[in-house]
């Protein structure tokens, strides 16, 4: 849970590794605080980060750098797919990933399946630039459990993006082999998935577990990362899997021109950043790719 302490909002989770970290941001104003059916929801305004959304004591969205995570979650998979028309986002109730998905001309339909309606309501109010994606005619918002929703889908989506609440306890069902199996079934031929992949320092063993079972299900699996000052370790990972053995995550199928980047208002993502995000520090690479880079 977050601790409001005078001018500070301190993110202090009970969950390892975050139980050993306290990440405080000075508030200008507390804007919202409630306990929904699923979690504690806090929004505050700050000088350094702009408006900040905190769920169960972990920063989820900060205006300062929300574009980093959202651009990468959308552009990494979509630029590795030849022609993504139907995209499913599980979680993502803030609308940020959907916003970036909708910038891709091939996309005809985006389904956002968010379990907590309160997150959507709060984001519409305090993060209108993210939640604007919900008013696009191509977007369908489903309030429900992504795990159950996934079980009913078969060959329905070109790309599935899992953008869970960070706290593993609540989102546990989105990080296991059963769920990845459901995603695989829900994909059209040559489909691919992108999941929030945790950080590579404190949660390396968790990432390793994700990659181990993903490799049993998908012929191509890769881990990349991006720099995000508003998340406590300062970076966030992305796990990508493809049912198409010819997919190369390291080399995007679609590269963007300077003009396309400007039109799509991309502040973080570029084709060079795409390639660079998969270049991992030595010690991480050895751990995550024990047999070399064959599967990327």
Which spans of this chain sit near a copy of itself (rule: CB under 8 A)? 8, 10, 12, 17, 19-26, 46-48, 64-65, 68, 199-202, 225, 227-229, 231-235, 261, 266-270, 272-273, 275-276, 279, 281-283
Active site (annotated) includes residue 163 = yes
* H/E segment holding residue 98: helix 96-101
| Closest among 61, 73, 52, 88 to 268, alpha carbons compared | 73
3-state SS assignment for residue 207: helix
Rounded to whole angstroms, how far apart are CA atoms 152 and 158? 16
Query: Is residue 159 within 8 Å of residue 192, measured between CB atoms?
Result: yes
> What strands lie across the sheet with 50-55, from one edge to the other?
29-35, 40-46, 50-55, 58-62
Q: Cβ 50 to a copy of itself, closest distance in Å? A: 12
Half-sphere exposure of 213 (CA within 13 A, CB side): 13
- In terms of CB distance, is 139 or 228 closer to a copy of itself? 228
* Smallest gap from residue 277 Cβ to a copy of itself (A): 8
Closest CB to a copy of itself among 183 and 273? 273
Q: Closest CB to a copy of itself among 164 and 237? A: 237
Nearest distance in Å: CB 23, a copy of itself: 6
Contact 256, 273 (CB under 8 A): no
Is residue 95 a contact partner of residue 110, using CB atoms and an 8 Å limit? no
Q: CB 54 → a copy of itself: shortest distance, Å?
A: 14
- Whether 76 and 194 have beta carbons less than 8 Å apart is answered as yes
Burial category of 43 from C-beta neighbours within 10 Å (exposed 0-12, middle 13-18, buried 19 and up): buried
Query: Between residues 134 and 278, which has the closer beta carbon with respect to a copy of itself?
Result: 278
Q: How far is the CB of 65 from a copy of itself (least distance, A)?
A: 7
- Catalytic residue from among 163, 166, 272, 291: 163
Q: Where are the beta strands (DSSP E) in 115-232?
A: 139-143, 157-163, 187-196, 220-227
Q: What is the closest distance, in whole angstroms, from the C-beta atom of residue 290 to a copy of itself in the complex? A: 14
Q: Give the Cβ contact number of residue 121 at 10 Å.
A: 16
**Cβ-based neighbours of 211, under 8 Å, separated by 6 or more:** 221, 223, 239, 288
Whichever of 216 and 262 has its CB closer to a copy of itself, that residue is 262
Of 216 and 267, nearer to a copy of itself (C-beta) is 267
Annotated catalytic residues are 163
């Amino acid at each position: 849970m977050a601790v409001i302490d005078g001018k500070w909002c301190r993110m202090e989770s009970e969950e390892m590794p975050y139980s050993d970290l306290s990440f405080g941001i000075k508030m200008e104003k507390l804007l919202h605080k409630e306990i929904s059916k699923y979690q504690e929801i806090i929004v505050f305004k700050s000088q350094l980060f702009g408006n900040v959304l905190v769920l169960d004591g972990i920063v989820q969205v900060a205006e300062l750098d929300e574009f980093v995570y959202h651009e990468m979650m959308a552009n990494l998979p979509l630029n590795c797919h030849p022609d993504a028309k139907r995209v499913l986002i599980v979680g993502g109730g803030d609308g940020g990933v959907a916003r970036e998905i909708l910038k891709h001309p091939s996309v005809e339909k985006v389904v956002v399946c968010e379990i907590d309606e309160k997150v959507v309501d709060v984001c519409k109010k305090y993060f209108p630039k993210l939640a604007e994606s919900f008013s696009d005619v191509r977007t369908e918002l489903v309030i429900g459990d992504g795990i159950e929703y996934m079980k009913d889908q078969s060959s329905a989506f070109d790309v599935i993006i899992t953008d869970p609440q960070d706290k593993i306890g609540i989102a546990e069902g989105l990080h296991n082999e059963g769920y990845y199996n459901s995603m695989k079934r829900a994909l059209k031929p040559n489909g691919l998935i992108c999941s929030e992949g945790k950080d590579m320092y404190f949660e390396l063993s968790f990432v390793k577990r994700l990659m181990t079972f993903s490799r049993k299900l998908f012929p191509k699996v890769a881990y990349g990362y991006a720099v995000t000052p508003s998340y406590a370790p300062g970076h966030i990972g992305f796990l990508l899997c493809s049912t198409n053995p010819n997919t190369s995550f390291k080399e995007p199928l679609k590269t963007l021109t300077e003009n396309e980047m400007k039109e799509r208002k991309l502040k973080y993502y570029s084709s060079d950043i795409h390639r660079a995000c998969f270049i991992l520090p030595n010690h991480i690479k050895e751990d995550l790719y024990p047999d070399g880079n064959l599967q990327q």
